[in-house]
Amino acid sequence: MTRTTIKKTYKLYIGGQFPRTESGRYYPLLDKKKNVIADICLASRKDFRNAVVAARSAFGGWSSRFAFNRSQILYRIAEMMEGRKAQFLEELLVQGSSKVNAEKEITLSIDRLVYYAGWCDKYQQISSSVNPVASSHFNFSVPEPTGVVAIVAPQNSSLIGIISVVAPVIAGGNVCIVLASEKFPLCAITFAEVLATSDLPGGVVNILTGKISELLTHMSSHMDVNALVYAGKDQKEITLAKENASLNVKRVFVYDDVWEKGTAQSPHFILDVQEIKTTWHPIENVGAAGAKY
Amino acid sequence: MNTKTTTEKKKPKLDFDSGWNYSPSPESTGHIRLEKRYDHFINGQFVKPAGGKYFPSINPATEKVIAEVAYGDERDIDKAVKAARNAYEKVWKKMPGAERGKYLYRIARIMQERARELAVIESMDGGKTIRESRDVDTPLAAAHFFYYAGWADKLEYAFPNRKISPVGVAGQIIPWNFPLLMAAWKIAPALACGNCVVLKPAETTPLTAMKLAEIIRDAGLPPGVVNIVNGDGKAGAALVNHKDVDKIAFTGSTDVGKIIQRAIAGTKKKATLELGGKAANIIFEDAAIDQAVEGIINGIFFNQGHVCCAGSRLFVQESVAEVVIRKLKDRMSTLIVGDPLDKNTDIGAINSKEQLGKINEYLKIGVDEGAEMWQSKCSIPSNGFFCRPTIFLNVSQSHRIVQEEIFGPVLAIQTFRTIDEVIEKANNTPFGLSAGVWTDKGSKIFNLTSKLRAGVVWANTYNKFDPTSPFGGYKESGFGREGGLHGLQPYLNLK
Amino acid sequence: MKNTFDFHNTPVIDQVGVEERVARFNSRSIKKTSKVEGLKLALSMIDLTTLEGKDTEGKVRQMCYKAQHPHDELPGLPTVAAVCVYPTFVKLAKKELGNSGVQVASVATAFPSGQSTLKVKLDDTKFAVESGADEVDMVISRGEFLAGNYNFVFDEIAEIKNACGNARLKVILETGELSTLDNVRRASEIAMRAGADFIKTSTGKISPAATQPVTLVMLEAIRDYYYETGIMIGMKPAGGISTAKIALQYLVMVKETLGNAWLNNIWFRFGASSLANDILMQLCKEATGVYQGADYFSKD
């Protein structure tokens, strides 16, 4: 007798927990033959609201981690993914990828995490400056994370897309709520399981599945969200997001890169969601050659 | 001569009013040249407004009209944008950086030569004191041109590994609090990066921008590279909505900033917004108190408090609150309010009747909310728009005078006991432009400066500006940086 | 008198902030009536000083005359506040000044280094006072101060104060040797609490002598002490103040830090010798509209 396999329930990932959507709604994910692969949570605006609360409360801790520590955690995420390659492969295949492409996507995703792990304690040095002001002050500018970032993940990919937009955001000390691809949601939830078993604190990354048409309005208008990353090309959606963003002067970044390219990674994705802070302090000028008090 | 006994019984009180006083010392106005009427500056020439209408620019200290200024509408904006586009495509885009830089150097030098005239006009038009327009606005404005001039042929070093190109035509809208300085902040980096600009000055303070137009003309800048269209929000809106503008740079209120962000949502326009603020200025018990008091004064009374980064929320550690407030009141008692052109004036005129009305409304709100208002007893002129330096005691975080930007010489004072408490309260605002910290302890400074969510943090100093130093906000105080290397980025496309 | 105050915990000072404040004082524009009034005020605050090994009776006599008749061609001028001499010239100065109201101040306590025993310093002080000095300008033991022996410095001042009797005691901090503004503030606290009637910047023998930042810090110490105790303390910057313009800047600093009550020669003095003539030249210029030449004003 063949064993009946245990099918996975795909849930949301909020504050380090895996709740079902509070709305109780779902949408069926179908394969090419219209068979149901899984029931996917149709996250509501309340799920999004809860995720923002979780993200905000994680921000202080995550942003003040030592950069070295963030770097190790991102690397740890890559390690965990390496161990789950088989599951990602299975999911990519069932969502319609070819084996060659799927394997390529997985390794590229893991390598991209390693790439951003390495940037965690370096991007500061390429965007900081000591400013030679014309007064007796020491003055320097450093990047600081923007805060809570809402992300609309690329719709045309299941894994590399979400990794490409999440990794630079959290590498820079931000926290995020990411809406997975509606069409290809499976890897996003498995990625959540990877995050849950790495050392990433709960709430740093929150993953929702559902519809852009339902959630974009809330993602772009929520007053406790500091920035919005939109990966896509739909001009109506972009305009809507930008208009709503003006409610609290959200920063909006629209990316339409082809994430499968090896070059679709750069420290500038990190620096987009950074604020530059400039600090001044007087320089005393007594003693030695400068004595003039 | 034993004099101690005579004063021992009286409650100590200092007298700053009687005795030796300063005679009026007005800056002379004989050397300045002002036309009766100013047009727009488009394509290197002064041109009449399409609608034929002019509006008066008044001196807020005397309420007298000092010049008439062209009232721009969308036709003028269109003409200016066309001129900018033409100059961009035909001349400026192609010009080597080193040559662009030379024009900026020229402008900086002429500004230095005409510094006194610029300062006097700035004070007449906007009400700020000659002490500030002479020592801060004008030299800093020239310094901005000088600084960015040098960048024009070095841009590739600012952004290694990136392909850079100018954005194109930048629409720039500036406020009335630092008219000339803001024009410099906007124009200098834009030109250094190879863009052409259409600038709209604030309607209450257009005159130094028109003097800058003369300087630009005299510097021989190719026609159309800088265009200046006067007018009010109508011209501003036309500029924001013009199809052939590639970038908007706006400094002003958060309300208008939001409107602009919304207006360009459906376009490819880039934007930088430098908006309002409600900065926390935090005094710890271990601070150098007298210098901190000076920092409070400089923080809130600089430029009549018409400063987006003004330290308008004061937090004083409870153990030193009494002494800090006493010293603050004494210091405020020495501030001279009056004729902006008098070299001894510390606080000039409120920029407009409308702004004075707004400030007075907040004074009333503060009193109605139950806060204790204290003003210095200085005399103020009977004509013109003036406001005594004001502090509010016994306020709490929920008061409107604590939450909302007043943009006047009005300080709300709260006390605190612990570091956690003050960080939380300081960050408890939709704004995030600037903050001040006063303590003698280095580790505490870095604790605070890293936790305060603001784009500029002054530790043991306040309201310092420099062309090399990036400036800009977190949260609803806007995005993008002006000044320094970081200030180049908004004017470049980076690939 | 025993000290009970912890001088290790005196207020801290930020030098850059002090210099910015000073720059702001200096941007005051003193013109017309306020200039004339200010110059006369400054003249009345001068301690005409000669403190040289080569001082002679003749020089002291001449200075005493100048103190009472700064410039006879210009009517309505005040006398200076005091003449300041070594103890051996006190008797002579006292006699020359008679009842003109001009005080006789004498340096004492092993001026200018202060490197001697307390007994010698006390004897020096007593000799000056017995000779008729109205005011005694003492120096503190900077070595002990810099070594952190604040109570030693305190005790010494208190003893000298005791020896002064009715003479007012000016305590010279010699700020040019104190290295930091924090130390200036601390030394000011020690002096005031030990009984100083005046605190004074410098002997004039060390560079830098009086500076505006140092003076501002001392004025702020005086103000805080006044609020704490109700006791007014006088201030005397000395050395290096040679022009009328700088003197006016000092007056601005006094006016805006301590207020009108200190703007007289009971509470504020300039220790200077060449300042008087520059003030006189400026006053004559204001009176005549003609720029003046040094040869038309008698050297002390």
Residues B182-216 pLDDT 10s: 999 999 999 999 999 999 999 999 999 999 999 99
End-to-end C-alpha distance for chain C, whole angstroms: 41
Nearest to C180 among A136, A286, A292 (CB): A286
Q: Catalytic residue numbers of C?
A: 137, 200, 236
Whether residue A280 and residue B461 make contact (CB cut-off 8 A), yes or no, is: yes
Closest-CA residue to B488 (of B182, B145, B189): B189
With beta carbons less than 8 A apart as the criterion, state whether B437 and B445 touch. yes
Categorize the per-residue pLDDT at C300 as very low, low, confident or very high, splitting at 50, 70 and 90.
Answer: low
Distance from CA of A216 to the nearest CA of B (A): 15
Provide the number of CB pairs (under 8 Å) joining chain A to chain C. 28
Which H or E run contains A38?
strand A36-41
Name the amino acid, one letter, at B398.
Answer: S
pLDDT score for A291: 53
Q: In the predicted model, what is the mean pLDDT of residues C252-275?
A: 96
Residue A258 contacts B, CB cutoff 8 Å: no
- Subunits with 3+ Cβ pairs within 8 Å of B are A, C
pLDDT score for B156: 95
Whether residue B7 and residue C34 make contact (CB cut-off 8 A), yes or no, is: no
Categorize the per-residue pLDDT at A262 as very low, low, confident or very high, splitting at 50, 70 and 90.
Answer: confident
Residue owning tokens 């137009």 = B213
- For the beta sheet containing B64-70, the strands, ordered from the edge strand earlier in sequence to the opposite edge, are B37-38, B64-70, B54-59
Distance from CA of B466 to the nearest CA of A (A): 6
CA–CA distance, B436 with B460 (Å, rounded to integer): 7
CA–CA distance, C47 with C67 (Å, rounded to integer): 9
Q: Give the CB-side neighbour count of residue C95, counting CA atoms within 13 A.
A: 9
DSSP assignment of B75-131 equals HHHHHHHHHHHHHIIIIITTS-HHHHHHHHHHHHHHHHHTHHHHHHHHHHHH---HH
With beta carbons less than 8 A apart as the criterion, state whether C242 and C87 touch. no
In B, minimum Cα distance to C182 occurs at B288
In A, minimum Cα distance to C179 occurs at A287
Chain B residues within 8 A of A135 when measuring between CB atoms = 464, 466
pLDDT of B92 higher than 60: yes
Categorize the per-residue pLDDT at A125 as very low, low, confident or very high, splitting at 50, 70 and 90.
Answer: very high
pLDDT score for A27: 96
Q: Which of residues 166-225 of A touch B (CB under 8 A)?
A: none
Distance of CA B82 to the CA centre of its chain: 29
Whether residue B254 and residue A249 make contact (CB cut-off 8 A), yes or no, is: yes
pLDDT score for A293: 56
Residue owning tokens 């990354």 = A205
Residue C182 contacts A, CB cutoff 8 Å: no
Average pLDDT of the residues of chain B: 96
Distance of CA A291 to the CA centre of its chain: 52
Residue C86: count of CB within 10 angstroms of its CB: 18
pLDDT of A286 higher than 80: no
With beta carbons less than 8 A apart as the criterion, state whether B246 and B270 touch. yes
Residue C14 contacts A, CB cutoff 8 Å: yes
Q: Phi then psi for C6, rounded to 5 degrees?
A: -90, 100
Chain B residues within 8 A of A242 when measuring between CB atoms = 261-262, 264-266
pLDDT score for A285: 81
Distance from CA of A103 to the nearest CA of B (A): 29
CA–CA distance, B185 with B178 (Å, rounded to integer): 10
| Cis peptide bond upstream of C208, omega within 30 | yes
pLDDT of C162 higher than 60: yes
Give the pairing of strands A137-145 and A274-282: antiparallel
Categorize the per-residue pLDDT at B2 as very low, low, confident or very high, splitting at 50, 70 and 90.
Answer: very low
Residue B286 contacts C, CB cutoff 8 Å: yes
Residue B466: count of CB within 10 angstroms of its CB: 22
Whether residue A141 and residue B470 make contact (CB cut-off 8 A), yes or no, is: yes
Give the pairing of strands A175-179 and A205-208: parallel
Q: Phi then psi for A103, rounded to 5 degrees?
A: -65, -40
Distance from CA of A286 to the nearest CA of C (A): 7
pLDDT in tens, B207-231: 999 999 999 999 999 999 999 999 9
In C, minimum Cα distance to A137 occurs at C16
Distance from CA of C295 to the nearest CA of B (A): 31
> B397: which residues sit within 8 A by CB, 6+ positions away?
B403, B414, B425, B428
Rounded to the nearest 5 percent, the helix, strand and coil shares of chain B are 40, 20, 40
Chain C residues within 8 A of B3 when measuring between CB atoms = 232, 266
pLDDT of A288 higher than 80: no
Whether residue B131 and residue C27 make contact (CB cut-off 8 A), yes or no, is: yes
pLDDT of B42 higher than 50: yes
Give the pairing of strands A129-130 and A137-145: antiparallel
Distance of CA C135 to the CA centre of its chain: 11
With beta carbons less than 8 A apart as the criterion, state whether B47 and B64 touch. no
Residue C18 contacts B, CB cutoff 8 Å: yes
Residue A251 contacts B, CB cutoff 8 Å: yes
pLDDT in tens, C188-246: 999 999 999 999 999 999 999 999 999 999 999 999 999 999 999 999 999 999 999 99
Whether residue A276 and residue B162 make contact (CB cut-off 8 A), yes or no, is: no
Whether residue B14 and residue C223 make contact (CB cut-off 8 A), yes or no, is: yes
Chain C residues within 8 A of A292 when measuring between CB atoms = 208
pLDDT in tens, B478-495: 999 999 999 999 999 998
Closest-CA residue to B256 (of B243, B278, B271): B271
pLDDT of C58 higher than 70: yes
pLDDT score for A6: 86
Name the amino acid, one letter, at B382.
Answer: S
Residue A138 contacts C, CB cutoff 8 Å: no
pLDDT score for A5: 84
Q: In the predicted model, what is the mean pLDDT of residues B460-487?
A: 98
Residue A289 contacts B, CB cutoff 8 Å: no
- Subunits with 3+ Cβ pairs within 8 Å of C are A, B
pLDDT in tens, A36-86: 999 999 999 999 999 999 999 999 999 999 999 999 999 999 999 999 999
pLDDT score for B1: 44
Q: In the predicted model, what is the mean pLDDT of residues A160-164?
A: 98
pLDDT of B98 higher than 80: yes
Categorize the per-residue pLDDT at A292 as very low, low, confident or very high, splitting at 50, 70 and 90.
Answer: low
pLDDT in tens, B263-322: 999 999 999 999 999 999 999 999 999 999 999 999 999 999 999 999 999 999 999 999
Chain B residues within 8 A of A246 when measuring between CB atoms = 258-262, 265
Categorize the per-residue pLDDT at A1 as very low, low, confident or very high, splitting at 50, 70 and 90.
Answer: confident
Distance from CA of A37 to the nearest CA of B (A): 38
Give the pairing of strands B64-70 and B54-59: antiparallel
pLDDT of B8 higher than 80: no
Q: Is pLDDT larger for residue B19 or for residue A257?
A: B19
